[in-house]
Chains A and B, each alone.
Chain A
Amino acid sequence: MPGSTRASSIADAPRLPALEDTARIQPAPSVGYARLIWRQFIAHRPAVIGAIILTTFVLLAVFVPLLSPYSPSEPDLFNQLAPPSLQHPLGTDPLGRDVLTRLLYGARISLTVGVLSSLIAAAIGVILGAVAGYYGGWVDNALMRLVDLLLAFPAIFLLLILFATIQRSLTIVILFLGLFGWLYLARVVRGEILSLRERDFIFAAHALGASNWQLITRHLVPNVMGAIIVTFTLDVALNMLAEGTLSFLGFGVPDSTPSWGNMLNGAASYYTRAPLLTIAPGLAITLAVLAVNFIGDGLRDALDPHVRHV
C-alpha cells in the first residue's frame, strides 16, 4: 500500500495521539485543485477498490427487494437451517429465512448507521472544535475540559448501560454513536484552527472587517476540510464496527430489521449446524469496513500534501 504510511489510518477504538497532526494546511480549494485531488485518489489503487466494493454494497442494499424473492423477516418454520443451495446460496437461519437476503438488508442498517452517526459527530465536532480553537481562552478551556471528562469516561460501560435500558431503535443507535463520537474530531479541528488562527491571511481577513462567524466558516473551516473529511470517513468505519458490536451483544438495532451485528447475536449456538450464520455477516462487516478505510486512506493521500512525500 504505497503512500498510505501514516499511522492515522488506524480506525480502532483506542485513539492514537499522533492522529492530531494528520491534516495539513492547504491552499483554498479551487477547480484545478479538485481535479488534482481526484487524480491522486484514483491513482490510489486500494481506494478505488474500496470505492467499487462500497458502491456494490450500496446498490445491492438499495435494490435487494427486486433481487431477492424472500422476505427478510417472515419466518418459514418448515425450512429451518437449510444448507446452502441454489434457492438459498447461504442457507437459511433458525427461523427458515434466507441468509443472503437478510445480509443484503443488513447492509442498509450498517451503512445508514455508519454514515448518519458520523455526520452527527462531524457536525458537533467541527462546531465545537472551531469555536474552541478560534476563541481560545475560557471557552477553549471549558470545552476541552468537557472533552477530557468524556474521554476519561469508561465509554463502553456507559454505552452498554444506556443501550440496556433505553428502548432499542435504529434512531437511538445512530444518535448515541453520534453524540459520543465527536470528541476526537473536535480535538483535531481545534488543533488545526489554533495554529491557523495566527496566520497572516486570517489577520488580513480580520483587518478587512470579516466577522468572527465569517472567519470561522469562510476561512478557517474550509482550510481544515481535508482533515475533517478524512476523519469523517474513518469514523464511518468505526461506527459500522460499533453498530456490529452493540447489536452482537444484543443492545443494538432490534431484530425485526436484520443488521450484520444482530445476525451474529446467538449465531454461536449454531456453530456445528450452520457455521455460515457466523461466517457470512462478519465477512460482510469486514469487507465494508475495509472498503471505507481504503477510501479514507486514499482521501488522506489525496488531500494531504504532506503525506504524499513521506
Chain B
Amino acid sequence: MTTYFARRILGAIPLLIGISLVSFIFLHAMPGGPDALLARNSRMTAEQLANVRRSLGLDQPLPVQYARWFGNILRGDFGLSFTQFRPVSQIIGERIPHTLRLVIPAILLSIALALAGGILSAVWRYSPADHIISGLSFLGLAMPVFWFGLMLQLLFSVQLGWLPSADMTSGDGSLIAGVKHLIMPVLTLAIGTVAGWSRYIRASTLEVAGQDFVRTARAKGLSERLVIARHTLRNALIPFVTVVAIDIPFFLTGAVVTETIFSWPGLGRLFFDALRSRDYPVLMGLLVYAAILIVVFNIIADLIYAWLDPRIKYR
C-alpha cells in the first residue's frame, strides 16, 4: 500500500506540471497584459514603459518566462506580485486564514446537516419527514447558490436588519460580531453540498441495508433502528468520508462566488482583483495552489478509503 501511495504522489507531479503549464499558456493568451493600462497613461514614455516591462520580466520570451517561474517554484518562490510588489506566497498566505474561517464552518455544517438529513430520511423512509427532506434537497440542488446568498442578504440584512450584509467583521470586532458576519456566507457555501450529501447518505444507507449481512442481522431479530445504527451506518459512511475528502477543494473554490457576494476578503476576492489587474504571478500562484489542493485531497480520499475499508487492496 505504501508503494501505491508513493506511486500516486509521484504520478501527481507530472499532473501538476501539466496544470501549471496549461495555466501559464491560458493566462498569457489573455488579451491585454499587466502593462496595458500603462501604455494609455499620459505620464508614460515609451522608454519608461520598456523599463517597467523589463522590471516585471515581461520583455522575455514566454518559454523563458515560464522556465524562470517554474525554476523559482521549485525553490518555493512564487515570485512578486505585479501590483503589490511583494511575495505572492505572503499575499496568498494572508488570505488563506480568511477563506478557512468561512470554509471550515461550512464543511462542518454541511456534514452535520447532511448526516442528520440523510440518516433521518433513510430510517424513516417514505415518511413525511423523508419527503420533506427529499423535497428540500431537490430545492437545494435546483437553487443557484449565489441566488440563495442574495436572498439571505435581502431577507436578513435589508428587510429584517438582523445580520450584516457583507464583510468579515464590524463594530467592535468582537466574537459575536464575527459570528454574525459568518452566518449567511457559511449557509450559502454549505447549501450546495448539504443537499447532495444528504441524498448520498440516504442512498448508501439504504443500499447497505439491502445487503446480506444486514438482512442476517435483521433476521436475528434486531430492531430496525438498531440494525441501522450498528450495521448499516458504519458501512454506509465509509464512502461518504471519501466524498467529503474529494469535495473539500470545491469548498475552497466555491468560496469564490460566496466571497464575491459577501465581500469576504479571502482567496476569491484576491483572484478577482488579480484577474482585473492581470497580476500573473498571483494568478499562477492561486491556480497552482488550487490544483495542489485538489490532487492532495484526492489522495487523502483514497487513503481514508483504504484505512476504513480493509477489504480494498492496492497494488
Query: A interface vs B, CB < 8 Å?
Result: 1-2, 4-14, 16-18, 46, 148-149, 151-158, 160-162, 164-165, 237, 241, 244-245, 248-249, 261, 264, 267-268, 271-272, 275, 278-279, 281-282, 285-287, 289-290, 293-294, 310
Contacts and interface: CB of A to CB of B under 8 A. Distances in A.
B294 interface: yes
B150 interface: yes
Contact of A158 (B23, B141, B295): B23
A1 B250 contact: no
B310 interface: no
Contact of B204 (A14, A18, A157, A282): A18
B184 to A, nearest CB: 13
A165 B30 contact: yes
B250 A14 contact: yes
B134 interface: yes
Contacts of A4: 134
A165 B275 CA distance: 9
A272 B158 contact: yes
Interface in B193-224: 193, 195-196, 199-204, 206-207, 210
A281 B203 CA distance: 32
B119 interface: no
Interface stretch (B61-69, B70-78, B87-95, B251-259): B251-259
A5 B154 contact: no
Contact of A157 (B15, B201, B261, B271): B271
A271 B295 CA distance: 40
B131 A1 contact: yes
B287 interface: yes
Given A157-B253, A271-B158, A279 B151 contact: yes
8 contacts: A10-B141, A148-B15, A149-B15, A154-B286, A154-B287, A154-B294, A275-B154, A282-B147
B135 to A, nearest CB: 7
Contact of B144 (A8, A16, A161, A282): A282
A1 B144 contact: no
B143 A310 contact: no
Contacts of B265: none
B26 A18 contact: no
Contacts of A282: 143-144, 147, 150-151
Contact of B142 (A2, A264, A293, A310): A293
Contact of B275 (A12, A18, A149, A164): A164
B32 A290 contact: no
B139 interface: yes
* Most interface-central of A1, A10, A310 (chain B CB within 10 A): A10
A278 B242 contact: no
Given A2-B126, A154-B294, A286 B142 contact: yes
A156 to B, nearest CB: 5
Interface string B154-173: 10001100000000000000
B150 A160 contact: no
A279 B200 contact: no
Given A17-B246, A153-B291, A282-B151, A10 B15 contact: no
A12 B246 contact: no
Contacts of B57: none
Contacts of A310: 206-207, 210
Nearest to B122: A5
A43 to B, nearest CB: 16
Interface in B258-302: 260-261, 271-272, 275, 283, 286-287, 290-291, 294-295, 298
A9 B198 CA distance: 11
Contacts, number: 177
A104 B229 CA distance: 49
Contacts of A249: 146, 257, 260
A290 B30 contact: no
A5 B154 CA distance: 34
B195 A153 contact: no
Contact of A154 (B139, B246, B253, B257): B253
A164 B290 CA distance: 19
Contacts of B196: 7, 10, 12, 14, 16
Nearest to B271: A157
B200 A248 contact: no
A7 B142 CA distance: 15
Contact of A293 (B32, B141, B144, B287): B141
A178 B212 CA distance: 42
A106 to B, nearest CB: 13
Nearest to B293: A154
Contacts of B126: 2
B97 interface: no
Nearest to B133: A1
B247 interface: yes
A147 to B, nearest CB: 12
B239 interface: yes
Contacts of B233: none
B290 A157 contact: yes
A233 B257 CA distance: 25
B27 interface: yes
A162 B298 CA distance: 26
A309 to B, nearest CB: 9
B192 interface: yes
B271 A6 contact: no
Contacts of A267: 150
Contact of A7 (B18, B204, B287): B204
Nearest to A4: B134
